[in-house]
Amino acid sequence: MVRSRSLPWALVALASAGLLALLWAAPLLWALATALRPEHETVSAAFHWLPRHWTAEAFAKVLASGSVLRWLFNSAVVALLVTLLTLAASLGAAYAFSQLRFRGRQLLFALSMLAFMVPFEALVVPLFRMMNALQLVDTYAGVILPQLVSPMAIYVFKQFFDAIPGDFRDAARIDGASHFQVLRHVYLPLSRNIVWAMGIVIFIGAWNNFLWPFIVIASPEMMTIPLGLTQTEDAFGVRYAQLMAAALLGGMPVALAYVLFQRRVTEGLLAATGLHG
């Protein structure tokens, strides 16, 4: 009886999920269909969901131009370094706030959490002035350094470290391990799934970041892919197939990263939400 009553709601939930998936996938499928059309079909008055003549010419022209490959390389360098350095800094800070006892610890943690309340847009001007004073404008360092602080990662790691029994740390310390070794050999293996989940989130955020690269980058050679895509109209003219091809190439690494590490991300998010359960 209970099962028969729950069946209509299950069907409604399934239909709703299918509709949401279709709404999400439709623009992506349209972009792919546009990228696989000849250029003259993209401006045709007659509507066709699928290309009449399939071709990968737009992808070939975009890759042959060289600019997109350079932008992809810049995005990869920035996103990977931001991810690795942010994880290292956040893990160290979280371990200090969770396991070490020093004067001002609570105050410093509260100040770091206040960053949640300050939008990045409010920091753009002082950050740019700082990068300009350090002569880091239009450099990798200028793009990367302001993105290294992640209060969310610090908070998640600290909450997880708080839940690990202190006996593990004490046993390692008695054996002569330094705090760095305790973090590396005890706490890091236990939090591997959460580290992977936060790493993917940070990587995607750094890859898709548009505002800060737009502010600090001046030369086309240093542009990341989100910023470079705004220049494709100047490079290619009004050529929609090539615009869609460049956009798909720009989003492909992020999609592949999520697909490859989906299980670890799911496990990490479940472990993180389980902290408060």
How do residues 175-204 score in pLDDT, each as one tens digit? 888 888 888 888 888 888 889 888 988 998
Please spell the DSSP secondary structure of 121-189, one letter per residue.
GGGHHHHHHHHHHTT-TTSHHHHHGGG---HHHHHHHHHHHHHS-HHHHHHHHHTT--HHHHIIIIIHH
Q: Give the tokens for residue 132.
A: 């300009």
Which letter does DSSP use for residue 102 in this model?
-
pLDDT at 238: 63
For 79, other C-beta atoms within 10 Å of its C-beta total 25
pLDDT at 9: 77
Given CA atoms 191, 194, 198, 203 in this order, what sign does their dihedral have?
Answer: positive
**For domain 58-276, is the CATH number 3.30.420.40?**
no
pLDDT at 239: 77
Q: CA-CA distance, 117 to 151, in Å (whole number)? A: 10
> Angle at the Cα of 255 (from 254 to 260), degrees rounded to 5?
100
What percent of the chain has pLDDT above 90? 24
pLDDT at 134: 93
CA distances from 10 to 2, 24, 131, 206, 260 (A): 12, 21, 54, 38, 29
Helix then strand then coil, in percent of the chain rounded to 5, is 80, 0, 20
pLDDT at 1: 44
Q: Tell me phi and psi for residue 207, to 5 degrees.
A: -65, -40
Residue 219, SS3? Answer: coil
pLDDT at 242: 82
Give every CB contact of residue 90 below 8 A, 6+ residues apart in sequence.
150, 153, 154, 157, 198
How do residues 135-184 score in pLDDT, each as one tens digit? 999 999 999 999 998 888 999 899 888 888 888 888 888 888 888 888 88
Cα 47 from chain centroid (whole Å): 35
Low-confidence ranges of the chain (pLDDT < 50): 1-2, 234-236, 275-277
Domain range annotation of the chain: 58-276
